[in-house]
Amino acid sequence: MQWEQVLAPRMGRMKASEIRELLKLLDQPDIISFAGGIPDPRMFPVAAFQEAMARVLAPGQAAAALQYSVSEGSAALRAWLADHMTGLGIPCGPDNILITSGSQQALDYLGKLMIGAGDTVLVNWPTYMGALGAFNAYEPTYDRLDPGSNREAADFAAKAKAKGGRVKFAYLSVDFANPTGETIDLAGRQRVLDLAEDLDIAIVEDAAYQALRYDGEPVPPILALEIARKGSIEACRTIYSGSFSKTLAPGLRIGWVCAASPVIGKLVLMKQAADLHSPTLNQMAVADVAARVFDSHVSALRQAYRARRDGMLAALDREMPKDVHWTRPEGGMFVWITMPDGMDGAELLARAIKTEKVAFVPGRAFFADGSGSNTIRLSFSLNDGPAVDEGIARLARVIRAA
């Protein structure tokens, strides 16, 4: 069969990463990888999950754990999350929470909810490649969102209209963003809110790394700032997307959306049509573990990842040529490298794997327009001590040679 004749036009927007085949080589034991933006499995709270699973599968609980459930998600988990969000300055109730199968599903649902073909989404330059992948299926155009600029709302609106649609929402990760590790300051968050008000658009606040702060003072989430302005989450245009993947365990695929109840109601309809609900057993286990060890476990993660970040930054200071620059994140998992113009991260990756057995992620995939070829992303979450020193020394040799 000629499958192309039955595929929807949107499939033309969905492409495999140019580095996918190269990254398959990373299972080789002699490669030092700074590529995967994933938590260290040695840090998973395994004992807490073993105990939780025993409790939720005990007589009296097992039937509920293994049964269908409501699309909104576990009542116990949504109640815990409502308290957690309130602690972040976002007072809300369980009706403002939807449990998703990871925050990636939330991004897909939000794209489906708001994007029509030709509509514009405002994103940072660069931005999370997974968000671009989720939104691309709904055939948007992209415009550059820079919280530090003075660009007027009318300019965004005119550009979107010229492309055949309108601006629908701004997407951004405000704390320790993937891929740059950068944090948007309070003034920048307020400007994004002002811009959204002027354009009458939604804001999608991706908070996957919010809990992983190592230095500096916490900055309120955009949703918290908007509630302070308007008095209630029900009056807010900001949609907060959270995840347990970076704090407890990614394999359970438990994320959440926190927003005004009309938005949650629409997303529940999508959840019912897509997968009915996220796994009940996983939700009950996460609720149990979060209630018992979330704060202490996240504190241990911060201590470990802070040391790894410091080790990577020290190695970069020591090894890198003077015309290579990098971010100094206050949290999260990533350092963003900018090399001289004319260098290509994808070509550098192929050379680095072949000659130095070191890996990273080329930066071009994080740009909506395919620019940024002279950038790369490093993750410090998996390696520590001598492996970081040796890996950065290898990377520096490759860059010098290029």
| Contact in structure between 207 and 162 (CB atoms under 8 Å) | no
How many C-beta atoms lie closer than 10 Å to residue 116's C-beta? 12
224-246 per-position pLDDT tens digit: 999 999 999 999 999 999 999 99
Which tens digit of pLDDT belongs to each residue from 185-238? 999 999 999 999 999 999 999 999 999 999 999 999 999 999 999 999 999 999
Which two three-digit tokens encode residue 344? Answer: 């290509």
Q: What is the 3-state secondary structure (H, E, C) of 387-398?
A: HHHHHHHHHHHH
Give tens-digit pLDDT for 72-103: 999 999 999 999 999 999 999 999 999 999 99
pTM, entire model: 0.96
Q: Which phi and psi angles does 345 have, rounded to 5°? A: -65, -35
Asked if omega into 179 is within 30° of 0 (cis), the reply is: yes
Least confident of 17-26, 90-99, 325-334, 340-349: 17-26
Distances (CA, A) of 6 to 1, 112, 117: 10, 21, 19
Q: For 19-64, write each residue's pLDDT tens digit.
A: 555 666 666 788 999 998 899 999 999 999 999 999 999 999 999 9
> What is the rounded CA–CA span in Å between residue 16 and residue 272?
28
